[in-house]
Amino acid sequence: MTDGGLHTDVPADWSIIITDVIGSTKAIAAGQYKAVNMVGAACIAAVVNVDKTIEIPFIFGGDGATFAIPELIKDRVMKALAGARNMARASFGLDLRVGAVPISDLAALNSWVRIGKFRMSKYVFQPAFSGRGWDIAEKIVKDPAQAAKYLLPEDAPVGEADFSGLECRWKGIPSANDCKLALLIVSTTQDPARHTAVYQEILNNIELTLGSIEQAHPIQKELLSINWLPWTFMGEAAVRTFGRSKLAMISYEIVAAIKSMIGSYLFSRRIDTATTKWSEYMDDFVRNADFKKFDGMLRMVVDCTNRQKQAIEDFLQQLHESGQIAYGMHASPQAIVTCLISSYNGYHTHFVDGSDGGYAMAAVQLKSQLKKGRNG
């Protein structure tokens, strides 16, 4: 995933779409981490449902997502995201930033944008992004001096945002050790060869520290527990019934609770039905969890002991002090999972984050290091 030499250039007529919750750190501090996470995942549902015949590359970032979008569907994607922005405000009181940066503009800045494809399981693939362009695109849409040209206007046309497939029905997953550790790591070296090598060194060190990255998977089947009380589905219902009546929202919560109870019974006993292989669902769940990914930045959530956390931090700090990386990390007591379900038979993806805003809180430390680096 981290080897850009194995990736290919994103086509010149595509665009990079950046979405994120404005002020997510404050919202999380106020206890809205589940709402922030739900809005970030809702953006993905809205985009992938625009045209299900196209496999749209995306990376979930906790409080938003990054997409590579072909010109063919860009207009419909932006209308869907305008609808998602309205939903975020009405349902959660959160402001969603949406920006689109053409690849051609990034090329003019000598910022290359590349993409690879990683098989997570038999049915699900995950994109891997590389090149400076992804980071530059995000900086552009967040820069007041440049953003006006790229941000989705307030008066932009609004299309129907289809959030079908978005589910959030699992309880927080406790740590099997001491914590769920969210990591954000970006190479800051100016040497292209070293840029790739440093990520491999980091992955090797984390592997050595944890025994193996797979052993430190934040999703353990034996610790999974599904919600079944109707009010625990309020966030999901607020998204899925946006624009409909209060009665529709309550009805959705009740139906979701019933489905969860039935599903819990079936997969706990590994009972297959005519339409769903529940005996395989839990294994697919673990395989399809996006706990490690790369979008020009290494993003991971791992389950570890406090001793392992300290060892990883010591190693990363050494690389940071030598000017090779900037990083952020945040330990949470649990992991939370938001799901995008195309089919219960393997075609489902699970977005993993720390229970109290792991990625968003890790980003605070990362941004501080990057700022000091620029000023230093």
Question: What does the block give as tokens for 20?
Answer: 């994120």
Q: How far apart are CA 349 and CA 340, in angstroms?
A: 5
Report which residue type is found at 17: I
Residue 304, pLDDT score? 95
The neighbouring-strand residues paired with 352 are: 337
CA-angle at 373, arms to 367 and 99, nearest 5°: 40
Q: What is the DSSP string of 117-133?
A: EEE-SSS-EEEEEESTH
Strand order in the sheet with 292-294: 292-294, 298-304, 179-187, 325-332
Q: Please say whether the beta carbons of 316 and 185 come within 8 A.
A: yes
Q: One digit per residue, pLDDT tens: the chain, 376 residues?
A: 878 888 999 999 999 999 999 998 899 888 898 899 999 999 999 999 999 899 999 999 888 999 999 999 999 999 999 999 999 999 999 999 999 999 999 999 988 899 999 888 888 899 999 888 898 999 999 999 998 999 999 999 999 899 999 998 899 999 999 999 999 999 988 777 787 889 999 999 999 999 988 889 999 888 888 888 898 999 999 999 999 999 999 999 999 999 999 988 888 888 888 878 888 888 888 899 999 999 888 999 999 999 999 999 999 999 999 999 999 999 999 999 999 988 887 788 999 999 888 999 999 999 999 887 665 5
Question: What does the block give as tokens for 259?
Answer: 């489905």
Residue 373, pLDDT score? 66
- Per-residue burial over 305-335, b if 16 or more Cβ lie within 10 Å, else e, is beebbebbbebbeebbeeebbbbbbbbbebb
Question: What does the block give as tokens for 316?
Answer: 């990363």
Three-class SS state of 14: coil
Residues 232-255 pLDDT 10s: 999 999 999 999 999 999 999 999
Q: How far apart are CA 265 and CA 249, in angstroms?
A: 25
Residue 274, pLDDT score? 80
Residue 374, pLDDT score? 60
Q: How far apart are CA 193 and CA 223, in angstroms?
A: 41
Question: What does the block give as tokens for 64?
Answer: 């938003």
For 173, phi then psi, to 5°, come to -100, 110
Place of tokens 């990376």: 59
Q: How far apart are CA 41 and CA 58, in angstroms?
A: 11
Q: How many CA atoms lie within 13 A of 230 on its CB side?
A: 8
Residue 375, pLDDT score? 55
CA-angle at 200, arms to 283 and 131, nearest 5°: 95
Residue 239, pLDDT score? 95
Three-class SS state of 275: coil
